[in-house]
Chain A
Amino acid sequence: EVQLLESGGGLVQPGGSLRLSCAASGFTFSNYAMNWVRQVPGRGLEWVSGIGGGGDDTYYADSVKGRFTISRDNSKNTLYLQMNSLRAEDTAVYYCAKDAVPRNSVWDWFDPWGRGTLVAVSS
């Protein structure tokens, strides 16, 4: 069974940093692109960032470009999101999501998603 488990969320002050992790199991992690998607409580979904299976190809939404860095460690089956210069508007539940089709680059729909980790940016 494919499982994705996010961790690392919490309360951080504006301008601060946080690193999220997503531990993956149940599939050959390096064969799949991975993504981060966020959701402000009570609001819709926003794709944040994606990374190819090998880790060389990375993609970002304009809203986080230059502040967030996605990476992965295929030896540990773990996806990361380093978030710097955090703003109040980054407050959300952050989900990791697996591309559904084995491919080196992000391209496909998401299946499955993790349960999410809450990031709250407030003074």
Chain B
Amino acid sequence: EIVLTQSPGTLSLSPGERATLSCRASQSISNSYLAWYQQKPGQAPRLLIYGASSRATGIPDRFSGSGSGTDFTLAISRLEPEDFAVYYCQHYGSSPFVYTFGQGTKVESK
């Protein structure tokens, strides 16, 4: 089972700044089967990125995903007030089947 480690645990930034979140896998992830989700308090997670770099429908282009193998990044180019939330990466598409999530990165307002 692939373990995903996200860093940092918390990112303190101001609106307008750039956020860079990391997700590192314990083994190489084939076909870039990695997704990113955003979760705000009291809400369900929302899909941002799939296939490591493809934006989901309706996601602003300030969100971008990159990476391959074991190292993946979610970048938010200019933080908007609504972007302060917790972000999770997820590995999918493995057999024998199990989905795994990273432990999350909280982006908070400085």
Contacts and interface: CB of A to CB of B under 8 A. Distances in A.
Interface residues on B, range: 20 to 34
Contacts of A116: 44
Interface in A48-65: 50, 59, 61
A120 to B, nearest CB: 17
Interface stretch (A10-18, A23-31, A69-77, A103-111): A103-111
Contacts of B98: 47, 59, 61
Interface of B (DSSP majority class): loop
A111 B44 contact: no
A16 B56 CA distance: 39
Contacts of A106: 97, 99
Contact of B44 (A95, A100, A105, A108): A95
Contacts, number: 59
A30 B56 CA distance: 23
B92 A107 contact: yes
Given A44-B88, A44-B103, A111 B47 contact: yes
B45 interface: yes
A47 B104 contact: no
Contacts of B99: 35, 37, 47, 50, 106
A114 B44 CA distance: 7
The 5 closest A-B pairs by CB, nearest first: A109-B35, A47-B99, A113-B44, A111-B47, A45-B101
